[in-house]
Structure 1
């Protein structure tokens, strides 16, 4: 992951560094602290990027205040260097923090919320760095969309046992030396130091007179022979058992490694197939929906709705038709489908304020299930329209101001639908990530 700070410094967005490595290190520390705080807060992360992209963001914005606090904690004397609020410095820190968080699903969220927002802002010297950052975000997001496999099946005990499989082998026990001693003694004579033996030899070893009597010296020789011979046999049996145990463990390790490799290969093949199957299913479902021009939620053709309402309904419906997250092509398919409606082509552009009022005033607009609008901080275009169609008190000027969007900014319905689709998708994915944590 390449840091954005050097590029922003070279572009001149970060001022009064005076070539000081110490000051630059403080900026890096502040950005790292911001990234750590935002990593597991998807909604705050998206709001932070929207704020950081806008050169006209006020210093009172919550994300800018958050950047200010992180910078002050890392650089206590910052107040003596800047007489005015260094908003561009705060933006730089927040952009770098977002950059450090841009992995996995976070990269997808950041791309979805920013892809259609950049056109609302007038970037300055930072434009090249920011556009390169968003391009890399788009590539990461596409990888996430293609490789994503939903965890829809709960793991069973059998699955867990398979995942943690270990080859079981028996434990070889040491020789029972007492039993072995009695067995050897029984082979040598009638008793062992006065102990009765099981099935003993009926004769003692013959003495000098060859009559087989159990004289004292002969008995003692048998006893010592039993002691030494049983100990020798026990040592050899234990050594043999140890070798067998070691061989069994080595064999078990080889089997375990082989089975684990096979399991991983099979799982990888299944996952790759699932990636391909899911991506193809998303595209097929989206294409079928596009060709039908039919709203499954309303049970009617999109052509029967007013274009500005149809654009919103289509974005909502497509989110229900496909599984999330989607490849980038799905959002563009939506835009191409919208432009097939009457009076809804790319060439027909109106100020965003006009579209908002038309949607707001539409008498027969259906209920649209947008995710909740943030109560504070930067708003996205989706947030503005979600607010407009809600039952809350409507203030278009306030909503657009919080989004940093001019009411006179012109946009077509295909572009509007695409933006709403991406940003609503980001909100739903963020809600899922928050619920899972």
Structure 2
């Protein structure tokens, strides 16, 4: 579907190029350029989508002018083909660009789906309805699959074995002192008889006083002297044995580093595996406590409209951008669960915005929105009007429709309004995420 948006508009008669394939190629090249604009500036995804949704988009909107400038670079004489400002063509180009960019960047897909789920049901889609429905379902399915995977809690965690190679140091050769052979010889001679000659030929004394004639006494004395002489010589030699030192500090430091890394890997795996469970536990705690961390008060103490608005703001702070479709449904039920809420009572969206602009309890929300959205000049999310209460255009129903694409008479229940606020916050947060690794860049089509 995402590869043939323009063609589908063409076959339904929603745009007309007079059967000229070259003109269709120029439109395709323009859509590709717009997709690259989105990929370099994801924040444009929301105003691009809000114009693309709206068959009554104003011809003077900055987004329309930007698209026509890029179209003119590819097709100088486009004005001769279309009567007046071709807003329908602009919308088709924007939709094609959004579809292309969303394939390469989930941030754009998340922002597109969040905006579509809020605003698209209010538009008069007509013959475009099937195109929109299919495209939104396709992108939403991909984003939701990613979110479900990130929120899943696996049944088990498999960690790789600790991979450690121990480099044993080279064993050194022990150093020893050789036996003093001359001393051993002198000792053996002394054990043999009372007199003997030493190595220099001199007569030595302190020999064995016994002679073999007294066999038993000689043998005893000889054995004791000989054993002592040999033992002393061996003791001196072995006692001088020197073993070289072995330095184990480097392999032990390497082992300690590998073990620490393995433990960190295990802790990160456990944390990642249980992140979804922790989020769900936090949401359940928040829902049951019914306490607003931003207002420092129970939701019961707030007016129903303030409570519904703040619940969306507070819950959005508990969850990541990529959240399953069940998360807005959880918020819907949480709002219904407040005893002060009349679940089926409807309020005008114009009235809800006006109330949010004035309520002191929503000051933290307005501060966040002012940091998120620029001061509105063209098509913009509803929440950006809350961020700028002094904006005179937000006080007039006709300007409200021009700026947001939403009819000022639109009515929502408070659970619906809360999910609306949540989706717009999520869409804005998606476009400010850090860019992820992307696939190889798309080749520019021939003009």
TM range (shorter): 0.5 to 0.7
Distance in 2 between the 1:358 and 1:326 partners?
28
Question: 1:365 Cα shift?
Answer: 4.6
Residue 313 in structure 1 maps to residue 314 in structure 2:
no
- Aligned residue in 2 for 1:419: 420
Aligned-pair CA distance for 1:271? 8.8
1:271-286 to 2 correspondences below 5 Å: 276-286=273-283
Gaps of 5+ in 2: 152-161, 163-260, 439-447
Aligned length: 324
- Cα drift, residue 142 of structure 1: 1.1
Equivalent of residue 126 in structure 2, options 121, 124, 127? 124
Offset at residue 324 of structure 1 (A): 3.4
> Which residue of 2 is the match for residue 57 of structure 1?
57
Q: Does 1:303 align with 2:300?
A: yes
Matches within 5 A, 1:40-189: 40-102=40-102, 103-147=105-149
What is the CA–CA distance in structure 1 between the aligned matches of 2:41 and 2:355, rounded to whole Å?
A: 34
Q: TM-score when scaled to structure 1?
A: 0.66
Distance 1:107 1:364 in 2: 32
Partner residue, 1:328: 325
The equivalent residue for 1:351 is 348
Once residues 108 and 344 of structure 1 are traced to their aligned partners in structure 2, the CA distance between those partners, rounded to angstroms, is 29
Deviation (angstroms), 1:313: 1.1
Aligned to 2:368: 370
User: Aligned partners of 2:428, 2:71: CA distance in 1, in Å?
Assistant: 28
- Aligned residue number for residue 15 of structure 2: 14
Indicate how the Cα distance of structure 1 residues 86 and 289 shifts in structure 2: closer, same or farther if over 3 A, else same: same
Q: Secondary structure at the match of 1:277?
A: helix
How far is 1:321 from its partner?
A: 2.4
Inter-partner Cα distance in structure 1 for 2:406 and 2:32: 29
C-alpha separation in 1, matches of 2:61 and 2:415: 31
Q: How far apart, CA to CA, are the structure 1 residues paired with 2:393 and 2:360?
A: 16
Structure 1 pair 366–93 and aligned structure 2 pair: CA distance change class (3 A)? closer
CA distance in 1, matches of 2:66, 2:415: 35
Unaligned residue ranges in structure 1 (runs of 5+): 150-161, 163-262
Any residues of structure 2 matched to 1:173-212 within 5 Å, and which?
A: none
- State the secondary structure of the residue aligned to 2:434: helix
Q: CA deviation at 1:366?
A: 4.5
**1:429 corresponding residue in structure 2:** 430
Displacement after TM superposition at 1:276 (Å)? 4.5
Shift of 1:392: 5.8
User: Aligned partners of 1:406, 1:282: CA distance in 2, in Å?
Assistant: 36
After alignment, is 60-69 or 291-300 more displaced? Answer: 291-300
Q: Matched residues in 2 for 1:393 and 1:69: separation? A: 29
User: Contact 1:282–1:323 (CA<8 Å) still a contact in 2?
Assistant: no
Partner Cα separation in structure 2 for residue 30 and residue 342 of structure 1: 52
**Secondary structure, in 3 states, of the residue corresponding to 1:125?**
helix
Please state whether the residue corresponding to 1:350 is helix, strand or coil. strand
Cα distance change of structure 1 residues 435 and 300 upon mapping to structure 2, 3 Å threshold? farther
How big is the shift at 1:118?
1.0
What's the CA shift string for 1:269-302, capped at 9, x where partnerless? Answer: 9998766432232222212211221112333221
Name the CA distance, whole Å, in 1 between partners of 2:109 and 2:24.
25
TM-score by length of 2: 0.65
Is the contact between residue 117 and residue 380 of structure 1 (CA under 8 Å) also seen in structure 2? no
Query: 1:2-45: per-residue Cα shift (whole Å, max 9, x none)?
Result: 32112111222112x23322221111111111111111211112
Structure 1 residues 22 and 333 mapped into 2: Cα distance closer, same or farther (>3 Å)? Answer: same
